[in-house]
Structure 1
């Protein structure tokens, strides 16, 4: 069972939706956000990265930042930049990148289903990042960014969605990065109930992206429940903003690694150690080496690309986490050879989403002139779901989803 709830979205006027919508707060730093929003009073970064409207030296976790976010959100509503719908609706959100589309249903999902693991996770969250969003949600009294959920394809749900998107969208624009965004409003109560009933027959939902946003929304709900011991369970704070996409629509791209140095090893000794667990060959093709199947890796060092192939016996084929390519690399190379004990906290490793291209790996290695980079084969959605179903957790930086959902197109008020 998956609970999906219609809600009264706070959303942009049609004529300025393209100016409001922005990438998620966590894919940019404060300086980048200031640059993006500096000439755009409509930018939702004034809410999601409110430090851009305060002194440049302010701590991004300062209470003033959250108060400013709330002030800016209320001002956008007062100024009619954002308008709340008069009735509970569902919405359809379609994103198209490089000719491939993904189409999801926008609604609210259940805090209790998150707590009961009907909404399944595959990542740990960091307390500092979680607390940041707890403060943001609580003080703004709203979910300002959607949780990216997926579910196993359901032909009846897709049939309803495919018929609805034949209508004219309320929003239709292409962002600066070339991604096309379209939104439809489902106002028909019968259609809303049909969709919600079909989701009640879905076994589970999976968090694809947005673990910190989801965990924070749930912590705020728990706080509100303590403050309101007679809560009924129907209050808006018991639900959080989500976009639900069928797994057949989604695209995970590679999430690559760069290590600053060889952990004190010479290049010859390093290659010798790597060769114990991987077959190593110099790549003689054109350009960077991009793995085309599991168990293979590109490695860039000394201005050369190498192809690595994991040898037999380097992982447990039964364990869904241990057989991930990111785990094989971590357990057989990054940890024991390069000394990256905890990739979550070690400052010698960085991660580069494949959207930036493999040439970015070359640039980063050549900047240091003594490091090494690894191009990865993408984790699959089946692997993600298998790990979540097993109640296990993926290694950090295992998945990178594109395109990114825009913030500002939908806001869910908690009361």
Structure 2
């Protein structure tokens, strides 16, 4: 859905202003010390402990509370949120707003708009998922949202405007124009996180500006770039509440990738119980396997070159790298489902799960067997630490993801990592405030 009709005849994205919950700067050590990456990026215990120790009010205490049982974790998060609100650590903005959000690091610049998006199902064609989800993760996130009655971090969604110049806010009307005008005002907050990203946030409350954004977004559909489990959680919780409630909406960050192209990275697999030697032996002649005694950057360069010609993977965990490529075509024909489109059958993630994990290695896709890691060095280090195998992946191009999503085809879970991801903790949404 692009600009094929007036908004009232071609309903698209509907983003509502919210009274955002934000940290009160005077009550915390620093805004950078209370933020966190999204919950599914904070996976290592050392990363969790680092954030917890950065500031007693770090947002990780809400998104990843620590307790003996799931129920205790969720209740603890709700109690912590209530206490922080009562103590004035967090406070709701005085009036509903959409929020212009900017991230900058060197030459990388990203801007978008945060608000509460009306929820849709895939059949609506308004918000397009592209990955499968894990039911246990959805259940956990749903219980956390249900107990806290809050959206604690925004999903990352993308849309594409027409005839846009990358990095420019030059339109005279529409969302881009409102963003451009907003940038001339002092921001609500500005902070730099330890990853080197500078963050700025502005509120948009003028009725004319809000109407301009509403009219513009009504012409567009969005792709879920990051947050498939939270989107599935939003949809589940919507069914539990009567129509017309705040649960009909979910907190999102919308990025126009025609102006601000996202980076697309791979998500790697850590196979806890499969040593590299056994992994290589089980492959046999089904793929070509070459051992590389080179540093990680050179190994990744070799992976990128191989991936341009065939499915390719890099195995690590024994102090070396093993480049796996050129799969046997007959084996692919026997193991990869034939019904989905060719673009799906040719995905590295498809071949990894259907041919390597399911057929050759016979590893169940369960947390005790497989972990999903965004950081390449962390995947290699952990594989060496536990005696397992890291399967390093090459990223998928954004246009492949978008084309499959438009066909209603979902990729294997954890196929892509779009970024930069929004910092968690800058804007929260209470479901009791709308």
Distance, in Å, in 2 between the alignment partners of 1:266 and 1:71 is 46
- SS of residue in 2 equivalent to 1:185: strand
Q: CA RMSD in A?
A: 3.0
Aligned pair count reads: 390
Distance, in Å, in 1 between the alignment partners of 2:405 and 2:350 is 16
Distance, in Å, in 2 between the alignment partners of 1:335 and 1:103 is 40
Q: Is the 8 A contact 2:131 2:415 kept in 1?
A: no
Structure 2: state its 5+ residue gaps.
Answer: 1-11, 165-170
Q: Which residue of 1 is the match for residue 167 of structure 2?
A: none
Offset, 1:108: 1.0
- Normalised by the length of structure 2, the TM-score is 0.79
Q: Is the 8 A contact 2:251 2:429 kept in 1?
A: yes
Aligned partner of 1:261 among 269, 274, 287: 274
Q: Is the 8 A contact 2:112 2:253 kept in 1?
A: yes
Q: Which residue of 2 is the match for residue 228 of structure 1?
A: none
Distance, in Å, in 1 between the alignment partners of 2:320 and 2:355 is 21
Aligned partner of 2:155 among 147, 154, 164: 147
Aligned partner of 1:185 among 203, 207, 210: 203
**2:416 is the counterpart of 1:373:** no
- SS of residue in 1 equivalent to 2:142: helix
**2:93 is the counterpart of 1:82:** no
Distance, in Å, in 2 between the alignment partners of 1:136 and 1:2 is 26
Q: Which residue of 2 is the match for residue 37 of structure 1?
A: 52
Distance 1:127 1:300, change over 3 A: closer
- SS of residue in 1 equivalent to 2:344: coil
**2:366 is the counterpart of 1:345:** yes
Offset, 1:280: 3.7
Structure 1: state its 5+ residue gaps.
Answer: 226-230
Q: Is the 8 A contact 2:294 2:320 kept in 1?
A: no
Aligned partner of 1:323 among 346, 350, 356: 346
Deviates more, 1:134-143 or 1:254-263: 254-263
Deviations 1:186-235 (A, max 9, x none): 12221111111100011x2121111222222232222221xxxxx5x3x4
- SS of residue in 2 equivalent to 1:191: helix
Q: Which residue of 2 is the match for residue 2 of structure 1?
A: 13
- Normalised by the length of structure 1, the TM-score is 0.82
Pairing of 1:158-169 with structure 2 (within 5 A): 158-169=176-187
Distance, in Å, in 2 between the alignment partners of 1:264 and 1:21 is 40
